Amino acid sequence: MDEPDCSLELSLALPEGWTFNLQLKRGEDQSYGGLAELHENGVLRCRMLLSNLDSDRKVALDRVATRVELWLAEWQSRDHSGNSGFGDL
């Protein structure tokens, strides 16, 4: 069963044209984990499989926000003008 999108629980400053989706659920060990996706103008740019974030939901969400912000900063620092040979995700 799909988990509901809980991305609105995070206050992320996304660049223009970017969207973020997050599904979190609690595992048997009571720790949160899930799947995060970042899209740029509808194109999937990043899919993160998140595990063992924390048993406290707020801490887990804070860790997701940190990971997403770090990934976006790294993505924006790269030159995207050439063909890397990689395809869309």
For 83, list phi and psi in degrees, rounded to 5.
Answer: -95, 115
Q: Is the pTM of this model over 0.85?
A: no
Domain boundaries, the chain: 7-77
Q: Is 60 exposed, middle or buried (0-12, 13-18, 19+ CB in 10 A)?
A: buried
Tens of pLDDT, residues 27-50: 999 999 999 999 999 999 999 999
CA distances, 34 to each of 15, 61, 63, 66 (Å): 23, 11, 12, 15
Q: What percent of the chain has pLDDT over 90?
A: 70
- Mean pLDDT score of the chain: 88
Once rounded to an integer, what is the mean pLDDT over residues 62-88? Answer: 83
**Confidence class of residue 1 from pLDDT cuts 50, 70 and 90?**
very low
